[in-house]
């Protein structure tokens, strides 16, 4: 996760540029963040191809859909790790409200796009994965 964080740090640092360059950098950062975490994005580790791109150099095989493993002392599956990674990195750059909104929007859009306006009242808001992020010791 450190490499991913450093990658986004590099993009985020460009936002401090004054004038139109900073605005362009902010749009680019947000666009890259969304592309990376969306379904089949480079950081969607619940997908086998993304998992292998991320962990193959460490010799960690894909555990399969629903397969369990231990990460920082927590038992999780690839989907949970993807959610935790999103929450960890998103919370560094965005407010808690925006972080929750992004996670909830992804869950809601899977069912019916019309529910997006109600997502703050749905059970996905502030999901378990955010609670896990607060408990992990990232040392």
**40-63 per-position pLDDT tens digit:** 888 888 899 999 998 888 888 999
pTM as predicted: 0.70
CA distance 56 to 124: 31
Lowest mean pLDDT among 29-38, 46-55, 93-102, 118-127: 118-127
Give the Cβ contact number of residue 134 at 10 Å.
8
| Residue 64 confidence (pLDDT) | 87
Any idea where the domains of the chain sit in the sequence? Answer: 2-135
Pairing state of beta strands 69-71 and 74-76? antiparallel
CA distance 31 to 48: 23
Whether the predicted pLDDT of 73 surpasses 50: yes
């Amino acid at each position: 996760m450190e490499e991913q964080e450093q990658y986004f740090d590099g993009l985020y640092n460009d936002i401090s540029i004054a004038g139109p360059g900073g605005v362009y950098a902010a749009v680019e950062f947000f666009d890259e963040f969304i592309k990376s975490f969306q379904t089949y994005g480079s950081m969607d580790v619940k997908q086998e191809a993304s998992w292998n791109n991320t962990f193959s150099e460490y010799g960690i095989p894909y555990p399969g859909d629903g397969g369990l493993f231990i990460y920082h002392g927590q038992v999780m599956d690839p989907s949970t790790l993807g959610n935790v990674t999103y929450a960890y990195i998103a919370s560094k750059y965005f407010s808690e409200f925006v972080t929750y909104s992004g996670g909830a929007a992804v869950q809601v859009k899977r069912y019916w796009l019309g529910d997006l306006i109600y997502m703050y009242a749905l059970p996905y808001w502030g999901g378990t994965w955010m609670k896990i992020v607060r408990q992990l010791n990232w040392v």
